[in-house]
Amino acid sequence: MAERKRVAVLMGGWSAEREVSLTSGQACVRALAEAGYDAVAIDVRRDLPALLADLEPRPDVVFNALHGPGGEDGMIQGVLEILNLPYTHSGILASALAMHKPTAKTVMAAAGVRVPPGRTLPLADLAEGHPLEPPYIVKPVDEGSSIGVHFVWPGDNRPPIDPDWPFGSEVLAEPYIPGRELTVAVMGDRALAVTEIRPREGFYSYEAKYTDGRADHIVPAELPDAVTEACLDMALAAHRALGCTGVSRADFRWDDGRPGLEGLFLLEVNTQPGMTPLSLVPEQAAHRGIDFPTLCSWMVENASCHA
- Catalogue the active-site residues: 17, 145, 210, 249, 251, 268, 270, 274
Cβ(31)–Cβ(293) under 8 Å? yes
CA separation for the pair 45, 55 (Å, rounded): 13
Residue type, 10: L
CA separation for the pair 197, 209 (Å, rounded): 10
Cβ(10)–Cβ(52) under 8 Å? no
Question: Torsion-angle region of residue 243: left (phi > 0), alpha (psi -120 to 50) or beta?
Answer: left
Q: What is the number of other CB atoms lying within 10 angstroms of the CB of residue 189?
A: 8
Q: Coil, strand or helix: which one is 157? A: coil
CA separation for the pair 32, 36 (Å, rounded): 6
Could you tell me which residues come within 8 angstroms of residue 267 by beta carbon, excluding any fewer than 6 positions away?
Answer: 115, 116, 174, 251, 252, 253
State the Cα angle at 95 between 246 and 286, rounded to 5°. Answer: 30
Could you tell me which residues come within 8 angstroms of residue 257 by beta carbon, excluding any fewer than 6 positions away?
Answer: 178, 179, 263
What are the beta bridge partners of residue 187?
190, 247
CA separation for the pair 192, 231 (Å, rounded): 11
Q: What is the number of other CB atoms lying within 10 angstroms of the CB of residue 259?
A: 7
Helices 101-110 and 92-99 cross at an angle (nearest 10°) of 100
